[in-house]
Amino acid sequence: MMGRISQRTNGMLCVLAVLVLGTSVLALAVPGLAESPDAATDVTGSHNGLVRPCHVAMNAMPAEDVPSSFAFVSTFQDLCLDGWSSISGTSPSISTRTTYYGEPSLASTATRTPQIDVANEGFVLGQTWLSFQVAINPGKGTGYFGLADASNKFVAVVGVSHGQVWAGHDLTSLSSAGPVPTGTAYPDRWVYLAANIYNASTDLNPTAGLLMDVFVDGCNQAPATVPVPDADSYAEALIETTSGTVYYTYIVVTTSLIPYYVAGYNNMAGYGQGSALYVELLPAFTTLRAEMTLTSWSVPQRGILSFQINAMNYQGTTTPSCEGFFQLGIDLNPNGVIAPWYVPGKNCFGHYMMSSANSAQHAGVGTPAGTHLVLTITYDAVVKKIIFTIVDTTIGQTFTQTISNNDGPFYGVYSQIEWQPCCSDFPIEDYHFSGILYNNTITTLNGSVQVLKSDYMIPFAIDAPPNWSLTYYQDNIAGYRQLA
């Protein structure tokens, strides 16, 4: 996911910068002006030199095309257990009553014995770099999620009990990661947890071994780092409820990086993490095209809420860098105004575009509710250029920008809705948006136009305020293909 870092802060805590590449992503934005464009970037066409704040370029880690990569996802949106089976206690069920922003969850109830469920579909074993996440609603119970070995014993675990978040390599080694956060944007009683497992050994410290950084919503750093010496013996994901009824969803285990802390960057205290991970590279392509209908929007402040599409070359797709990702978006501003901008792929700064109808206009143009936009990012290998274009067919205006680039075709795409808490003078609930993104297509090197499939990306959190509405698949399916 790419997000923007603000030039000013208000003391809000950083949650997670969630790493993501996929067709659709909700993320963050920061308004205002930033420093000048990269001097090495040749910017031509209608451009006024005004730039938006920088973006944080964070992609998959390790590269998603390596054979060892895998991603296991359970969001229970198909109302099925999706590969989970019970090895202790009563069988779990899918709840449509206790939901996560309206999405179903797995209900696990402990009676005389713990309720234990396992799943391992698609797991690639033996990796020493892993991320996982889970949303837990403990109610009055106690529940844990993590990785387990072939004997169904935890080797890395997080959980919630008695108002505290816990983490360890098993249930006998738990350390407190602090109290359950309050005042977050997550649904009531839900706790979002994420963790990175990695080999911390170095030449200077060869015995450090495997560690797990645990992230909790509302933290400005990993609140707990615990040793997980046997984590590389994982064989499955495991849910264990030791008391009461506990609800679980938004489960992901993957070799891609999920939580990532960036100083000064705030992921909306929970909102905006509608994100996705690649499962494979797209075929090399030269053009990303998407259509959008802006059904309605109402915002109290300019530059805070925005929307964008993104095309990335090989480097931008597979490495956490500002290099190689190219973004095209609009600010959704008050009074029916949109302000187009782009990111040139050589730095993390967004630059405002000017209207073809008004060379003096950079702050945007008025357009009615229901307006139709066509967005394209094109790599022209012949002239070694990338062309950004937004056409507002409703008012008949075109915004375009051309930059020099000879770094090859694209291999990845995604889209974002962005909102930035650091610079907003109003709560997120005051921002309203409804729109549809559709006809997402790529044009490959041989000229073939391909529609992006619904299962191109796998979501690991689809969180947005109830007053936001974005349909971003061309077939408008209600859920997502479950991989677990």
User: pLDDT tens-digit profile of 273-320?
Assistant: 334 455 557 899 999 999 989 999 999 999 888 888 889 898 887 765
pLDDT tens-digit profile of 380-428? 999 999 999 999 999 999 999 999 999 999 988 877 777 766 678 887 7
Cα separation, 116 vs 144, whole angstroms: 10
pLDDT at 278: 53
Exposure letters 342-351 (e unless 16+ CB within 10 A, then b) = bbbbbbbbbb
Name the token pair of 17. 């910068």
**pLDDT value of position 305:** 86
Confidence of residue 227 (pLDDT cuts 50, 70, 90): very high
Q: What's the count of helices (H) and strands (E) in the chain, helices before strands?
A: 1, 35
- Whether residue 166 contacts residue 174, with contact meaning beta carbons closer than 8 Å, is answered with yes
Q: How confident is the model over 40-93, as pLDDT tens digits?
A: 223 333 333 344 443 333 333 334 444 457 778 887 877 888 889 999 998 899
pLDDT in tens, 343-379: 898 777 788 887 554 444 456 899 999 999 999 999 9
pLDDT > 80? residue 38:
no
Checking if the pLDDT of 13 tops 50, the result is no
> At 209, is the pLDDT very low, low, confident or very high (cuts 50, 70, 90)?
very high
Please, where in the chain does CATH 2.60.120.560 lie?
Answer: 71-254
- Tell me the C-alpha distance between 367 and 372, whole Å: 9
Residues 6+ apart with CB under 8 A from 284: 408, 409, 410, 411, 444, 445
Name the DSSP letter for residue 453: P
Identify whether 62 is preceded by a cis peptide bond (ω within 30 of 0).
yes
d(CA 357, CA 376): 19
Q: Which CATH number fits domain 71-254: 3.40.50.1240, 2.60.120.560, 3.90.850.10, 3.40.50.150?
A: 2.60.120.560
- Closest by CA to 285, choosing from 420, 100, 442, 455, is 442
Q: What would the mean pLDDT of 238-262 be, rounded to a whole number?
A: 85
Q: Are 295 and 435 in contact (CB under 8 A)?
A: yes
* H helix intervals, 205-313: none
pTM of the complete model = 0.64
